[in-house]
């Protein structure tokens, strides 16, 4: 788990941190690439569509499935939703990519109501993905831990 300031450079930092973790864990290269793309889209979405100061990223493996979460501080903002952009629209395809690469994805409120967590589940091994395409929305009832460590020299906050 790691926290990033809500700045454009954080998208690249998130991609590098996820790649490092997944490579260390021996995740299949194709699955790693898909997870990096999904992480990039989720972090970009949080930066683009919220007024968050920090973004918290979590990546873990459960039963050969990659779980990716990006938490923002979007209290009062609307929930993320897939759009149907026109062919000339410059954006609006991020969650379509997430839906295409994930076997499941969705949005849930943080336990304290301070924001949202957008999550995705992907296979940790390459191969076919059976995508649901549409998100699930769940509300959780337990607190989400936050770091009191503050940012490190590269602008991130590491969590274990």
- Give the Cα separation of 112 and 123 in Å (integer): 30
- Give the Cα separation of 119 and 104 in Å (integer): 8
User: What is the model's pLDDT at position 49?
Assistant: 80
Residues lower than pLDDT 50 in the chain = 128-160
**Nearest residue to 34 (alpha-carbon basis) of 117, 126, 119, 118:** 126
Residues 6+ apart with CB under 8 A from 110: 71, 116, 117, 140, 144
- Give the Cα separation of 71 and 58 in Å (integer): 8
Q: What CATH number labels 2-158?
A: 3.30.565.10
Bridge partners (DSSP) of residue 33 are none
User: What is the model's pLDDT at position 61?
Assistant: 92
Strand, coil or helix: 4: strand
User: What is the model's pLDDT at position 26?
Assistant: 92
β 2-5/65-71 pair status: unpaired
User: What is the model's pLDDT at position 24?
Assistant: 94
User: What is the model's pLDDT at position 143?
Assistant: 34
User: What is the model's pLDDT at position 146?
Assistant: 36
């Amino acid at each position: 788990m790691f926290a990033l300031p809500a700045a454009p450079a954080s998208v690249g930092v998130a991609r590098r941190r996820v790649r490092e973790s997944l490579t260390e864990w021996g995740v299949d290269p194709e699955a790693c690439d898909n997870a990096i793309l999904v992480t990039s889209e989720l972090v970009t979405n949080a930066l683009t569509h919220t007024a968050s100061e920090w973004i918290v990223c979590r990546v873990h493996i459960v039963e050969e499935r990659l779980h990716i979460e990006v938490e923002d501080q979007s209290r009062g903002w609307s929930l993320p939703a897939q759009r149907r952009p026109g062919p000339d629209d410059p954006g609006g395809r991020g969650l379509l990519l997430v839906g295409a690469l994930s076997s499941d994805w969705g949005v849930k409120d943080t336990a304290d109501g301070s924001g949202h967590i957008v999550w995705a589940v992907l296979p940790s091994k390459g191969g076919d993905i059976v995508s649901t395409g549409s998100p699930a929305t769940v509300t959780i009832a337990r607190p989400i831990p936050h770091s009191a460590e503050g940012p490190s020299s590269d602008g991130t906050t590491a969590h274990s």
